[in-house]
């Protein structure tokens, strides 16, 4: 158990000392630009919007660092609810994730799909339905084929699912993601 705790602490330190510090520096630079007297109102408004996104990302990163350092981990279901709340979208969550390593991996998959739907598809609402053999994630964002995407996110999702004996349904799309257990 010590090896896992040590590795979690190492990752938390790396995130804090690297990405979190860099993100804070970006935020300060944006604050400086927002405060300049020669910035137009339109540009200032755009910069404030970007600053809000940086602040949200920083808050998410801090929560992740806290979770890595925490001795008490939430259940996969609690983590999913917290993650969906943090996205700032309306959501309906039906069913429960198993309280196991499988549930933890499924949570991470749902979290990635939900973040992508919000960030890339501009989704403002999600419906997540969980059964023992299938998970459906529907959103109101823009449509394109999730299966045709070549991003690292989808590759990571497929790898996580493979580890726990689940897979992406071939009928999945960006607005309607289906994950099925391979029994």
pLDDT, tens only, 105-147? 999 999 989 988 888 888 999 999 999 999 999 999 887 555 4
Nearest Cα to Cα of residue 18 among 61, 69, 56: 61
Radius of gyration of the chain (CA): 18
Separation CA 26–CA 55 (nearest Å): 10
Domain 76-181 has CATH 3.30.565.10: yes
Nearest Cα to Cα of residue 12 among 56, 69, 71: 69
pLDDT, tens only, 3-54? 667 887 888 889 888 899 999 999 999 999 999 999 999 999 999 999 998 9
pTM of the complete model? 0.66
- What are the boundaries of each domain within the chain? 2-69, 76-181
């Amino acid at each position: 158990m010590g090896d896992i705790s040590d590795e979690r602490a190492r990752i938390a330190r790396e995130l804090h000392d690297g990405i979190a510090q860099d993100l804070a520096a970006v935020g300060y630079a944006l604050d400086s630009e927002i405060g300049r007297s020669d910035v137009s109102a339109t540009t200032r408004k755009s910069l404030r919007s970007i600053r809000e996104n940086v602040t949200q990302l920083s808050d998410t990163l801090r929560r992740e660092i806290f979770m890595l350092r925490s001795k008490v981990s939430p259940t996969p279901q609690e983590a999913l609810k917290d993650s969906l709340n943090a996205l700032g979208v309306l959501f309906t969550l039906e069913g429960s994730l198993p309280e196991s390593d499988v549930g933890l991996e499924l949570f991470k998959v749902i979290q990635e799909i939900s973040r992508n739907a919000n960030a890339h598809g501009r989704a403002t609402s999600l419906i997540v339905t969980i059964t023992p053999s299938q998970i459906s994630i529907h959103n109101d964002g823009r449509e394109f084929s999730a299966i045709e995407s070549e991003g690292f996110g989808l590759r990571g999702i497929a790898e996580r699912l493979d580890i726990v004996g689940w897979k992406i349904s071939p009928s999945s799309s960006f607005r309607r993601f289906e994950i099925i257990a391979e029994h």
